[in-house]
């Protein structure tokens, strides 16, 4: 039985491409408004907001990329990758907003860090008037983005390194380089990294696009006056004035241009640096080859990241039960469960979050598996850029198009509209997470099954999918986490009728009520983590018991 690319593939394509292209078309159509572009150009904040966006987006992506490469090197050389990837899901599952809120609880002038060293070290009786939250330079935003994106890059790299077809070869090449006398670090940077890095191109672009266009995180921890361009666009989109809305859409268009230009620029740089130089596979930054500091630093950096994540979760938990909490006390003076009682009394928020996440993830998984299974490889690679459109287009622009489509379908504020909005953003992530393992599946299994006379279904159900159980479960967890973390589409397409833990957390963070913000942010963190834990359990390696004789 051979795959029939014809109608099944076309159908699969149509199901996704029709809404995708209409959303994109509606979004782009809103940009055809010269007055709005002129208003954007003359708006007093545009230029400085754009500069801030470029700074925070590029700095965070560069740092995240560099740190990830460095950590991967340490992990690969010291055979610690497995240990690192074990904790990754929890970090990966942490929604951006929860991370930003937690980081805020740590670094604010009245945050834990300063409380810990006051007044014995600093002499402060009151929080200092320091700009450590929403700092005008965007450092807090950069830190939050880096903390969030490093685990994502590590994880996508790990899925590549777990692929059956490459793992053995890279390991062999690495060992060969070592036997030729290269130091392990050098062997990594010369042999493995140049092959791995190009495969991380799309994840990297997702990170870059996210860094340039993020709204929820920037609302919480980013600079406020001026804010980044994405936040400015979001504020304009929410304005009662239709002209301001058009200006917001134009700002979204400008963001798309920024993503495109910086993406192309990055690509050019990458090509230039990976081009073989005097017969070598890549150029090595000399700093990185210093063995001892590199390794010690790697361990230190990894522990620091783990520590910050732990502190964030703890800060959110303590914050959620805090009442009066004067500076510089380490713990609240008054503890109260008020925030959790409030959360409990609006339980529909949690069930809505769960149902939306499960619905959109299952739809995405079904489609992604069908696509990878049935569609010819060359269609797939040709259409990938289009399928990743929602990842690369700025969120603010995407919701404009989504809202247009949903309004046309009369689905605004409806379950169907919400499902469409979430699925359109979950699907690319599920596809991204599933592809490496799915496409890297050893074709010999199939040939073997066919030669034994097994049907295609039989092969899928009994061999391929069970073997890919880990990847399937992991991609479901990713989709679930992505859906839970959605802020813009939930608020915009949901006509405000749908509350998820994320919209609650971000809305409340603007209201800055510590306990309730902490409660929702903590919940926002816990739900996806449970998802990943479940995925890990489902995808755990099978153990064969040897019958005792």
Our measurement of the distance from residue 450's CA atom to the centroid of its chain's CA atoms, rounded to an integer in Å, reads: 39
44 is a site residue for other proteins (CB under 8 A): yes
- Interface with other proteins by CB under 8 A: which range of 178-186, 194-202, 406-414, 426-434? 406-414
62 is a site residue for other proteins (CB under 8 A): no
> What is the pattern of x (binds other proteins, CB under 8 A) and - over residues 510-529?
xxxxxxx-------------
Q: Could you tell me which residues are beta bridge partners of residue 277?
A: 280
Select 195 or 336, whichever has its Cβ closest to other proteins: 336
Q: If DSSP states are collapsed to H, E and C, what string results for 109-168?
A: CCCHHHHHCCCCCCCCCCCCCCCCCCCCCCHHHHHHHHHHHHHHHHHHHHHHHCCHHHHH
Select 32 or 455, whichever has its Cβ closest to other proteins: 32
Q: What is the number of other CB atoms lying within 10 angstroms of the CB of residue 530?
A: 13
Q: How far is the CB of 436 from other proteins (least distance, A)?
A: 39
**Residue 49 Ramachandran class (φ > 0 left, ψ -120 to 50 alpha, else beta):** alpha
33 is a site residue for other proteins (CB under 8 A): no
The answer to whether the beta carbons of residues 504 and 339 sit under 8 Å apart is no
Using CB under 8 A as the binding rule, the residues of this chain from 430 to 449 that contact other proteins are: none
Select 194 or 226, whichever has its Cβ closest to other proteins: 226
Q: How far is the CB of 120 from other proteins (least distance, A)?
A: 17
Select 262 or 490, whichever has its Cβ closest to other proteins: 490
336 is a site residue for other proteins (CB under 8 A): yes
Q: How far is the CB of 229 from other proteins (least distance, A)?
A: 14
352 is a site residue for other proteins (CB under 8 A): no
109 is a site residue for other proteins (CB under 8 A): yes
Q: In this structure, what are the phi and psi dihedrals at residue 442, rounded to the nearest 5 degrees?
A: -60, 115
* Token digits of residue 130: 């320091």
Three-state SS for 411? coil
Helices and strands: H and E segment counts in the chain: 28, 0
Q: Which of 504, 526, 529, 532 is the binder for other proteins (CB under 8 A)?
A: 504
Q: Which of 247, 364, 499, 502 is the binder for other proteins (CB under 8 A)?
A: 499
Select 134 or 159, whichever has its Cβ closest to other proteins: 134
Select 95 or 248, whichever has its Cβ closest to other proteins: 248
327 is a site residue for other proteins (CB under 8 A): yes
> What is the pattern of x (binds other proteins, CB under 8 A) and - over residues 363-392?
------------------------------
Separation of first and last alpha carbons in the chain: 42
Q: Which of 113, 183, 467, 495 is the binder for other proteins (CB under 8 A)?
A: 495
Could you give the CA distance from residue 335 to residue 322 in angstroms, rounded to a whole number?
5
- Interface with other proteins by CB under 8 A: which range of 73-81, 318-326, 362-370, 528-536? 318-326
Q: Which residue has the tokens 């990170």?
A: 207
* Token digits of residue 57: 């987006």
55 is a site residue for other proteins (CB under 8 A): no
> What is the pattern of x (binds other proteins, CB under 8 A) and - over residues 212-251?
-----------xxxx-----------xxx-x--x------
Alpha carbon of 67 to those of 60, 73, 202, 288, 291: distances in Å?
10, 10, 18, 11, 16
126 is a site residue for other proteins (CB under 8 A): yes
Alpha carbon of 532 to those of 363, 527, 535: distances in Å?
18, 9, 5
Residue 103 CB contacts under 8 Å (≥ 6 apart), including other chains: 140, 143, 144, 147, 221, 308, 312
Q: How far is the CB of 399 from other proteins (least distance, A)?
A: 13
Q: Which of 136, 198, 265, 310 is the binder for other proteins (CB under 8 A)?
A: 136
With 0-12 CB in 10 A as exposed, 13-18 as middle and 19+ as buried, what is 336?
Answer: middle
Q: How far is the CB of 342 from other proteins (least distance, A)?
A: 5
Q: Which of 2, 345, 451, 545 is the binder for other proteins (CB under 8 A)?
A: 345
119 is a site residue for other proteins (CB under 8 A): no
Our measurement of the distance from residue 425's CA atom to the centroid of its chain's CA atoms, rounded to an integer in Å, reads: 11
Could you give the CA distance from residue 32 to residue 28 in angstroms, rounded to a whole number?
7
355 is a site residue for other proteins (CB under 8 A): no
Q: Which of 195, 274, 338, 456 is the binder for other proteins (CB under 8 A)?
A: 338
- Torsion, Cα of 509, 513, 514, 520 (10° steps): -60
Query: How many chain residues bind other proteins (CB under 8 A)?
Result: 51
The answer to whether the beta carbons of residues 421 and 493 sit under 8 Å apart is yes
Select 62 or 235, whichever has its Cβ closest to other proteins: 235
Alpha carbon of 419 to those of 253, 364, 411, 414, 433: distances in Å?
25, 11, 10, 9, 20
Q: Which of 45, 62, 195, 289 is the binder for other proteins (CB under 8 A)?
A: 45
Q: Where are the beta strands (DSSP E) in 246-359?
A: none
Q: Which of 129, 181, 279, 453 is the binder for other proteins (CB under 8 A)?
A: 129
C-alpha dihedral sign at 175, 176, 179, 183: negative
Q: Which of 48, 62, 195, 289 is the binder for other proteins (CB under 8 A)?
A: 48
195 is a site residue for other proteins (CB under 8 A): no
273 is a site residue for other proteins (CB under 8 A): no
325 is a site residue for other proteins (CB under 8 A): yes
Select 289 or 336, whichever has its Cβ closest to other proteins: 336
360 is a site residue for other proteins (CB under 8 A): no
Three-state SS for 98? helix
Positions that interact with other proteins (CB under 8 A) = 44-45, 48, 109-110, 125-127, 129, 131, 134, 136, 223-226, 238-240, 242, 245, 323-327, 334, 336, 338-339, 342, 345-346, 407, 412-413, 495-497, 499, 503-504, 507-508, 510-516
């Amino acid at each position: 039985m051979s795959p029939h690319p014809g109608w099944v593939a076309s159908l699969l394509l149509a199901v996704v491409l029709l809404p995708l292209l209409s959303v994109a078309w509606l979004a782009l159509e809103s940009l055809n408004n010269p007055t709005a572009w002129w208003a954007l150009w003359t708006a007093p904040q545009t230029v400085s907001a754009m500069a801030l966006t470029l700074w925070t987006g590029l700095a965070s992506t560069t740092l995240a990329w560099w740190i990830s490469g460095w950590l991967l090197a340490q992990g690969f050389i010291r055979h610690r990758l497995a240990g690192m990837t074990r904790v990754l899901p929890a970090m990966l599952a942490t929604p951006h907003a929860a991370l930003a809120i937690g980081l805020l609880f740590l670094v604010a002038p009245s945050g834990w860090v300063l409380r810990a060293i006051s007044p014995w070290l600093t002499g402060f009786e009151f929080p200092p008037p320091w700009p450590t939250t929403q700092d005008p330079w965007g450092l807090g935003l950069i830190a939050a983005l880096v903390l969030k994106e490093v685990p994502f890059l590590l994880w996508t790299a790990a899925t590549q390194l777990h692929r059956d077809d490459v793992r053995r070869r890279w390991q062999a090449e690495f060992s060969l380089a070592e036997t030729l006398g290269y130091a392990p670090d050098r062997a990594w940077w010369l042999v493995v990294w140049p092959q791995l890095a190009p495969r991380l191109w799309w994840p990297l672009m997702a990170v870059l696009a996210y860094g340039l266009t993020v709204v929820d995180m920037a609302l919480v921890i980013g600079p406020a006056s001026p804010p980044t361009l994405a936040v400015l666009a979001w504020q304009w989109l929410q304005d009662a004035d239709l002209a301001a809305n058009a200006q917001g859409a134009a700002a979204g268009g400008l963001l798309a241009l920024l993503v495109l230009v910086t993406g192309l620029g990055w690509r050019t740089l990458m090509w230039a640096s990976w081009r073989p130089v005097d017969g070598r596979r890549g150029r090595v930054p000399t700093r990185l080859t210093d063995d001892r500091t590199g390794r010690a630093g790697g361990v230190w950096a990894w522990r620091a990241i783990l520590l910050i994540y732990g502190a964030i979760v703890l800060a959110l938990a303590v914050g959620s039960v805090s009442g009066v909490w004067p500076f510089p006390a380490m713990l609240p003076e008054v503890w109260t469960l008020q925030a959790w009682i409030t959360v409990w009394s609006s339980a529909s928020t949690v069930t809505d979050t769960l149902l939306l996440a499960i619905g959109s993830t299952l739809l995405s998984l079904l489609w992604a598996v069908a696509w990878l299974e049935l569609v010819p490889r060359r269609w797939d690679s040709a259409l990938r850029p289009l399928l990743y459109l929602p990842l690369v287009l700025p969120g603010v622009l995407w919701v404009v198009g989504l809202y247009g489509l949903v309004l046309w379908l009369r689905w605004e504020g409806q379950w169907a509209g919400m499902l469409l909005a979430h699925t359109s953003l979950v699907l690319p992530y599920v596809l991204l997470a599933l592809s490496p393992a799915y496409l890297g599946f050893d074709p010999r299994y199939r040939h073997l099954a066919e030669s034994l006379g097994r049907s295609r279904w039989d092969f899928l159900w009994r061999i391929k999918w069970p073997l890919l159980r880990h990847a399937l479960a992991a991609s479901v967890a990713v989709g679930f986490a992505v859906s839970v973390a959605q802020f813009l589409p939930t608020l915009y397409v949901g006509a405000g009728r749908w509350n998820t833990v994320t919209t609650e957390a971000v809305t409340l963070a603007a209201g800055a009520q510590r306990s309730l913000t902490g409660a929702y942010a903590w919940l926002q963190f816990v739900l996806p983590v449970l998802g990943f834990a479940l995925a890990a359990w489902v995808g755990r390696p099978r153990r064969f018991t040897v019958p005792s004789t």
